[in-house]
Structure 1
Amino acid sequence: MDVTFRDYDPADADWIVARHQAHYAEAEGFDDSFGALVAKVLARFEATRDPARERGWIAVDADGARRGSIFCMTRDDDTAQLRLFLLDPALRGHGVGQRMLDAFTIWARSRGYRRAVLWTHESHRAACALYARSGWTCRSSTPVTSFGRPLVEQHWDIVL
């Protein structure tokens, strides 16, 4: 699959919010509060980003069309947080998600982070399988009601 990664640009923000909102509304029935959360995460990233330690990538196809995103944000001095990881479902199963996760991991390690964390939901089965294959460990699973529906929230981490 001919997909490359480029750095996030603030002009990507509306696309990221819209794609996350549309995908999770269709795939999992999430309400509009999910898009609002994505917008809040991006606004914080843009307002407080430390370029030496935080980065966003946009996956683009050969035509330059956006096909996914992944972000490295600082949780604390030793901990990176994986955020806003999304890949067009048509590209899943072609190794693109693994390449995106590897780019995150290599970059976070090169910036001195000792571990990385992420928050997801059990229903994101393909992503959870990718995390497990890549050495991440699920540390907790908690039933919650979020985004207008019952879910099982998960927290994962990995030593870098």
Structure 2
Amino acid sequence: RVRIVKDPLGLSCLMAVIIYWVYNVTLVSSVILLPNYQHGQLPLIALLIYWSLALLCLASLLRACTMNPGALNVEDTPQDDWMLCLKCNQARPPRSHHCRRCGQCVRKMDHHCPWINNCVGEDNQFAFMLLVMYAALLSVYTFVLDI
């Protein structure tokens, strides 16, 4: 199920990231990759690697921002070690925290990331880490291609 947090600041940060991604992929492709490929200075595999990393980066961004981070449900059965959240009056397990932006408690919440407009919690932490890894790889690969 797709989940989108209706936070104006978060949505504007997320849109900025997507616009930056589109601009970057378009600019790098048209200024660096395609001209060098057409002049025989860059192999086809270099283009395919770049576009694969760019698509993986976008896919992990969309996954991290639309995935439930581990928000508690009303139906969750409280255990003995659970505490009551003072903000939403819901029983929550240890290591869960209440997010003021999302207005809910999230299991194993790390932080609320404005760039994905979502909390990073137990259920979407892997997608977030993939996003960070792919973005870093794409940045390094773009830098190497630009040299």
Query: TM over 0.5, yes or no?
Result: no
Higher strand share: 1
Q: Over alpha carbons, which structure has the higher Rg?
A: 2
Q: Relative contact order: is structure 1 or structure 2 higher (C-alpha 8 Å, sep ≥ 6)?
A: 2
When the two structures are superposed, what TM-score results if normalisation uses the length of structure 2?
Answer: 0.29
Higher helix share: 2
When the two structures are superposed, what TM-score results if normalisation uses the length of structure 1?
Answer: 0.27
